[in-house]
Amino acid sequence: MLRRSAVVLAVLAVVVTAGLWVRLAMSEDAPAPMAAPAPGEPGAATAPGAPGGPGPVLDRFRQALTDRLKESLGATDEEWKVLQPRIEKVMTLTMQSRIGGLNIGALMGRGRRGGPGGPGPNTTAPQTEIDKTGAALQKLLDNKDAKSEEIKAALAALREARAKAGDELEKARKSLREVLTLRQEAQLVMMGLLD
C-alpha cells in the first residue's frame, strides 16, 4: 500500500510539471498530445493504494514529457545523453524549491493529525532538508504552547534550507546553460525551466 505522503508528492509532481507540459503542448512545433491510457491499460490511473498506484501513470507522463522535451529542443540522441540528466536535475530542484516544506493538509483546510488529510502511521520521513525543517516548523505550529523564539529559529532554518536549495537550483541551471545552444536555452526559458 502506498503511503499517503508518497501519494501527495506524486500528485504535486504532476501539478508542478503540468505547467511545463502545457507550455510544450501549446508551442508551435510541438507534436500532438499523447492520448490518456484507457482504464485497465498499463499506465492507466488507479486508486491510491491499489496495485500499480500512481507509479505507472507518473512514469508514462514523465517519459512523454522527456520525449517532448527532446523533440522540442531538437536534440540528437548524443546531445540528449548530456542534456537529460541536467534538465532532470533542474526540474527536481525546481519542484523541491517550490513545494518543499509545504503543509499540503493545511493548504487544503485539513488537519495534520488524525482525521481526513492528517498523516497516519505510514507517513514517510521527510527526505530533503527543506522537508525536515518544514516538518519541524509545522510541529511547533501545531503546539499552541510553542515559544516565539522556537518558532523564529525554526522559521529561520526553513528559510536557510530554501535559500540553499535556491543556490543549488541556480548552479544546476548554470550547468545546463553551458551545454545548450542559444535556441535550446530560449526554448527552456519559454518553458519555465530557465530564467
pLDDT in tens, 109-157: 554 444 444 444 344 545 788 889 989 999 999 999 999 999 999 999 9
d(CA 46, CA 27): 30
Q: Where are the domains of the chain?
A: 4-191
Closest residue by Cα to residue 101 from 11, 194, 9 = 9
Can you tell me which residue has the cell 507540459? Answer: 21
Q: pLDDT tens across 151-182, in order?
A: 999 999 999 999 999 999 999 999 999 999 99
Q: pTM here?
A: 0.61
> If DSSP codes are grouped into helix, strand and coil, which group holds residue 2?
coil
Integer Cα distance of 37 and 122 in angstroms:
30
Q: Are 66 and 84 in contact (CB under 8 A)?
A: yes
